[in-house]
Structure 1
């Protein structure tokens, strides 16, 4: 069954963008980028107040936090022209540094695993990792695919997955048991580097936003040009089904924390599509203004946040009622979001 709902918002008041003077960064914070304002907003999810706004660097698209919740890393994309990652001190609420990626232009997708920042670089057709401790790029792997855009990395670092928009593919990159070379006589140059194996899987045209189910079994990729969703078995790395989900212009796709629902945003229409992960059918379409991009699920599973980029606000969706219950204004053209959780 499928329902459609209008965007009737039960506001407790408009949540404005003005930062609270002198407010500290909460232990759990929602990070939201504003592309036009070129800022990173730190939001307290308890009261939805903007705690601080910090310069993000040019054309910010994605953001990720370090495991200890103290740093944020922002990709400065520029449609493939730029080559920097802006590092923000979330506790001090200031820019800490700017990472120059050199020839690796078009940084976009980000993940943080194993103490390192993993990123895509579209123009260079690669993924890489940056070590914040040594302040060096310590790994670069080519995909050979056009517009390697988003990235997900396993916690144990055994695999990496990317979406490749113009090639209409997903790339699985896995650690191999083999090693490259010997490192010189008696290992004089240190241990031999790890070898990686890549598997390229054809999906729908315009594959961009994707997510892996909480149980790690399935990968769902939204195909913006086809308006379909490709379901892949992670183990076999094969397409199981292609859903005619009518999500043309799809931007991001996210599972709810319990794995029961899948949210798909689109910049080409006014509706957020919500699918039942078990039945693989559309459950509901929620009106979201003129379009939407970034999606983040609250870690506790109560709410979802959806960046309504064309309308300059972030919609708050109750995961029980699947209704929009409010909106947050953090700046013009909100897009990438992330959670920063600081240990006690």
Structure 2
């Protein structure tokens, strides 16, 4: 397929900064280390000072920013604006706009292959998977694969040969060969599969079942479900707790977070007393606090992991979704961003 280079910038850094200041959104306090929160329902991102836990700035984005991903060199944080069909690159520390890339159609979820050769986007609205070649700065469209209704989250193998994608409406897990850029196989996994997590050693894929109340454990090499782990209704997305053993899963309907032991593949405890719709999560660098977005409450929350209690909430914008720390705790297993 002929490559289409899509690295045209719609604004320079200076122009982008001028737009933000003119709109009255940007705050001088945004020079500090900030937690970046995407408000998908109102096309903004909130800057939250991690130390004071106060919102210190709000910056306009494109329409429906859902997910974000840091570039492999950590120089930029990419905000994927799914309805505006563009990417917004911001400083991962301050949230200041660096550049825009237009013509990236329906980038709902984005991810880089571990070898940094490919950037993959799932088109939740357009029912397809787009694969771009990435040279460290520019993106070139390599393949566009019709995949089924509402492709959602993804996970890569560490050898960068395969990307897995959940298909929400058909209840399937798809495996795509990144070398041939063709679908290798699909398998049924359950109702409304969403988040994916690869267990240590790449033995199993964990799949959050948003239409049910469990996580499916998939032996992806043999394409079969070997176990289900009861959680709460609406099991959705994952975040490693960076202790070599546990991963958190948000239960969006039950408004709880379950802690899964990756060795025993069991639920070892639920965090309750949360606001409605817990979704994406981030871990503080000291591993003491788990920050979570509440999609249905216009708030984010901070959980003390020593007590597993919600200790603070912070008002942000409508439908907060993606969240990112500049100094976040490293993810030791693949595809935890």
**Normalising to structure 1: TM-score of the pair?**
0.75
Q: Give 1 or 2 for the bigger CA radius of gyration.
A: 1
Deviation at 1:108, TM superposition (A): 0.9
- Given that 1:118 and 1:129 are in contact with CA atoms closer than 8 Å, whether structure 2 keeps it comes out as yes
Change (3 A) 1:45 1:25: same
Deviation at 1:150, TM superposition (A): 1.1
The superposition leaves residues 151-194 of structure 1 with CA deviations (integer Å, 9 ceiling, x where unpaired) of 22345422211111111111222355xxxxxxxxxxxxxxxxx5
Greater RCO, CA 8 A, separation 6+: 1
- The DSSP-based 3-state class of the residue aligned with 1:281 is strand
Change (3 A) 1:301 1:158: farther
Given the alignment, which residue of 232, 249, 253 partners 2:234? 249
Aligned equivalent of 2:160: 157
List aligned pairs for 1:9-24, cutoff 5 A.
21-24=28-31
Aligned equivalent of 1:292: 278
Change (3 A) 1:121 1:23: closer
Aligned equivalent of 1:8: none
Aligned equivalent of 2:177: 174
What residue ranges of structure 1 are gaps of 5+ in the alignment? 1-17, 177-193
Q: How many residues align?
A: 299
Change (3 A) 1:276 1:36: same
Deviation at 1:303, TM superposition (A): 2.1
Deviation at 1:309, TM superposition (A): 1.9
**Normalising to structure 2: TM-score of the pair?**
0.76
Distance 1:321 1:260 in 2: 18
Change (3 A) 1:195 1:169: closer
List aligned pairs for 1:254-333, cutoff 5 A.
254-277=239-262, 278=264, 280-333=266-319
Aligned equivalent of 1:84: 86
Aligned equivalent of 1:14: none
Deviation at 1:231, TM superposition (A): 0.5
Aligned equivalent of 2:10: none
Change (3 A) 1:37 1:232: same
Distance 1:308 1:148 in 2: 22
- The DSSP-based 3-state class of the residue aligned with 2:272 is strand
Aligned equivalent of 1:183: none
What residue ranges of structure 2 are gaps of 5+ in the alignment? 1-24, 329-337
1:58 aligns with 2:60: no
Change (3 A) 1:312 1:110: same
1:144 aligns with 2:130: no
Farther-moved stretch of structure 1 (287-296 vs 230-239)? 230-239
